[in-house]
Amino acid sequence: MAKLKGNAVVGQSGGPTCVINQSLVGVITECRKHPEITGLFGAVEGVKGILNENFYDLMKEKPASLEAVAATPGAALRSVRKKPTAEECQKMFEIFKKYGVRYFFYIGGNDSAETANIVNQMAARENYELRVFHVPKTIDNDLLVTDHCPGYGSAAKFVAAAIAGDGLDNESLQGIKIDIIMGRHAGCRPAAARLARTEPDTAPHLIYVPERPFIMKNFLADVDRVYKKLGRCLIAVSEGIADANGDPVYKSKEVDAHGNVQLSGTGALGDFLAAEIRANLGEKLRVRADTFGYLQRSFPGFASEVDAKEARQVGIHAVKHACKNNSDGSISIIRKPGKKYAVEYVLTPLASVAKHTKSLPDEFINAEGNDITDAFVRYALPLVGKMPVVKRLAGKMLKKRS
Amino acid sequence: MAKLKGNAVVGQSGGPTCVINQSLVGVITECRKHPEITGLFGAVEGVKGILNENFYDLMKEKPASLEAVAATPGAALRSVRKKPTAEECQKMFEIFKKYGVRYFFYIGGNDSAETANIVNQMAARENYELRVFHVPKTIDNDLLVTDHCPGYGSAAKFVAAAIAGDGLDNESLQGIKIDIIMGRHAGCRPAAARLARTEPDTAPHLIYVPERPFIMKNFLADVDRVYKKLGRCLIAVSEGIADANGDPVYKSKEVDAHGNVQLSGTGALGDFLAAEIRANLGEKLRVRADTFGYLQRSFPGFASEVDAKEARQVGIHAVKHACKNNSDGSISIIRKPGKKYAVEYVLTPLASVAKHTKSLPDEFINAEGNDITDAFVRYALPLVGKMPVVKRLAGKMLKKRS
Mean pLDDT in residue range A107-116: 94
Per-residue confidence (pLDDT) for residue A255, from 0 to 100: 35
**CB atoms B396 and A57 under 8 Å:** yes
A267, A289, A394: residue with CB nearest B62: A394
Mean pLDDT in residue range A317-332: 93
Rounded Cα gap, residues B226 and B206, in angstroms: 9
- The nearest CA of chain A is from the CA of B256 a distance in Å of 15
Most B CBs within 10 A among A271, A286, A295, hence the mutation to make, goes to A295
Rounded Cα gap, residues B353 and B111, in angstroms: 9
Per-residue confidence (pLDDT) for residue B254, from 0 to 100: 35
Using alpha carbons, list the distances in angstroms from residue B162 to A45, A178, B55, B195.
23, 21, 37, 11
Mean pLDDT in residue range A334-343: 96
- The nearest CA of chain B is from the CA of A367 a distance in Å of 31
Residue of B nearest to A17 (CA): B169
- The residue among B148 and B256 whose pLDDT is bigger is B148
**CB atoms A270 and B270 under 8 Å:** no
**CB atoms A174 and B78 under 8 Å:** yes
Give DSSP secondary structure letters for B82-94.
----HHHHHHHHH
Give per-residue pLDDT as tens, B32-88. 999 999 999 999 999 999 999 999 999 999 999 999 999 999 999 999 988 899 999
Mean pLDDT in residue range B170-189: 92
Residues of A in contact with B57 (CB under 8 A): 396-398
Quick one: which of A163, A166, A139, A161 has its CA closest to A150?
A139
Most B CBs within 10 A among A276, A393, A397, hence the mutation to make, goes to A393
For residue B263, pLDDT over 50 is answered with no
Per-residue confidence (pLDDT) for residue A402, from 0 to 100: 86
For residue B260, pLDDT over 50 is answered with no
**CB atoms A397 and B260 under 8 Å:** no
Quick one: which of B391, B401, B35 has its CA closest to B202?
B391
pLDDT-derived band of residue B388, with 50, 70 and 90 as boundaries? Answer: very high
Per-residue confidence (pLDDT) for residue A251, from 0 to 100: 64
**CB atoms B288 and A294 under 8 Å:** yes
Catalytic positions of B: 140
For residue A317, pLDDT over 70 is answered with yes
B198 contact partners, CB below 8 Å, separation of at least 6 = B164, B390
Average pLDDT over chain B, rounded to whole? 93
Residues of B in contact with A267 (CB under 8 A): 265-268, 270-271, 291
Residues of A in contact with B16 (CB under 8 A): 168-169, 172-173
Residue of A nearest to B166 (CA): A298
- The nearest CA of chain A is from the CA of B365 a distance in Å of 26
Note the ipTM here: 0.95
Rounded Cα gap, residues A219 and A287, in angstroms: 15
Rounded Cα gap, residues A273 and A281, in angstroms: 12
Catalytic positions of A: 140
Residues of B in contact with A53 (CB under 8 A): 400-401
Backbone angles phi, psi at B291, to 5 degrees: -120, 120
For residue B259, pLDDT over 70 is answered with no
**CB atoms A68 and B391 under 8 Å:** yes
- The nearest CA of chain A is from the CA of B286 a distance in Å of 12
Give DSSP secondary structure letters for B325-341.
S---EEEEEEEPSSSS-
Residues of A in contact with B298 (CB under 8 A): 165-166, 168-169
Please state whether beta strands B55-57 and B37-43 pair in parallel, antiparallel, or not at all (unpaired). Answer: antiparallel
Please state whether beta strands A329-335 and A131-136 pair in parallel, antiparallel, or not at all (unpaired). Answer: parallel
Give DSSP secondary structure letters for B204-230.
PSEEE-TTS---HHHHHHHHHHHHHHH
Give per-residue pLDDT as tens, B315-347. 999 999 999 888 899 999 999 999 999 999 999
Contact B96, B47 (CB under 8 A): no
Residues of B in contact with A47 (CB under 8 A): none
- Read off the pTM: 0.96
pLDDT-derived band of residue A36, with 50, 70 and 90 as boundaries? Answer: very high
Per-residue confidence (pLDDT) for residue B374, from 0 to 100: 98
Contact A310, A121 (CB under 8 A): no
Per-residue confidence (pLDDT) for residue B264, from 0 to 100: 60
